[in-house]
Amino acid sequence: MRRPLVVGNWKMNGSREQNTELLQSILGLLPESEKVELAVCAPFVYIDQVSEQVANTSLALGGQDVSVHVSGAYTGEIAAPMLAEFGCRYAIVGHSERRQYHNESNLLVGQKALSAIQGGLTPIICVGESLEQREIGSALDVIGSQLQSVKSVIGDQGLAKSVIAYEPVWAIGTGLTATPEQAQEVHQFIREQLGSIADGISILYGGSVKAANAADLFAQPDIDGALVGGASLVAEEFINIAKAV
Ligand code: 13P
């Protein structure tokens, strides 16, 4: 019922030349089967370039963030309808790097998710605990309150139109991956928190996902795909992660 989804988060990487090379390799290797959906989230300045190159292919496009506002005097912000105009289907909201380096609160993340939905995008709502929070045993409490804040803004109706990504902060870019069992425990908890609408909502895992560990993660019943950072910049790795689904 949930179609597996593998999303590449390019973060602040790329150049016009590198993007073309990466996209051509990805498109050349794209599986014909529609079993898995693939998407890339490019830096804003390259959205137009990527949009042109993925037109008429099955590779979907997303932004890495979105403004809570629709238009107006908000210097540096990008609105959901702008992303939609360039063919974006997704917007990542609440990535831990934005929570950490840009002080984004749980409530703001909820508002960004709402703005994405109202602008016709599917928000990929990131949640996850720090190493310290895991070590003191509060991982599930932290994730529960991140989810609850988002729900207080977008309700079940909004959650039903969203994708959730569990990204333990300690596993991002560190080479440390949550074990499949650790990830499954949190994914199952997230699904329980989502209540009656949970079955229709995709929950992705993110944090040092590579071709080599993807199959074991995807074998878990509540892991519906991946949000991939570093490995999404290497076409073969990215495609092999998708094939592992
Ligand atoms: P890495 O795959 O590089 O650990 O990054 C994960 C991530 O933050 C994806 O959003």
6 has which bridge partners?
38, 226
Residue 102 bears catalytic tag: no
CA-173 nearest atom, ligand 1:
4
C-alpha 9 – ligand 1 centre gap (Å): 7
Using CA positions, which residue lies closest to atom 1 of ligand 1?
A: 229
Q: Kindly report, residue by residue over 30-78, the tens digit of the pLDDT.
A: 988 889 999 999 999 999 999 999 999 999 999 999 999 999 999 999 9
Q: Distance, CA 231 to ligand 1 centroid (Å)?
A: 8
Note whether 112 and 123 are within 8 A (CB).
yes
Q: How far is CA 58 from the centre of its chain?
A: 17
6, 64, 131, 228: residue to mutate for ligand 1 pocket, most atoms within 8 A of CB: 228
Q: Rounded to an integer, what distance in angstroms lies between the CA atom of residue 67 and that of residue 149?
A: 17
- Write out the two tokens for 59: 């590779």
Give tens-digit pLDDT for 77-132.
Answer: 999 999 999 999 999 999 999 999 999 999 999 999 999 999 999 999 999 999 99
- The pair of three-digit structure tokens given for residue 145, joined into one six-digit string: 């309150």
Q: How confident is the model at residue 174 (pLDDT cuts 50, 70, 90)?
A: confident
SS3 115: helix
Tokens coding 208? 């040092």
Identify the active-site residue in 95, 104, 187, 237.
95
Catalytic residue among 97, 104, 129, 167: 167
**Statement: the pTM of the whole predicted model exceeds 0.95:** yes
What pLDDT is recorded for position 1? Answer: 74
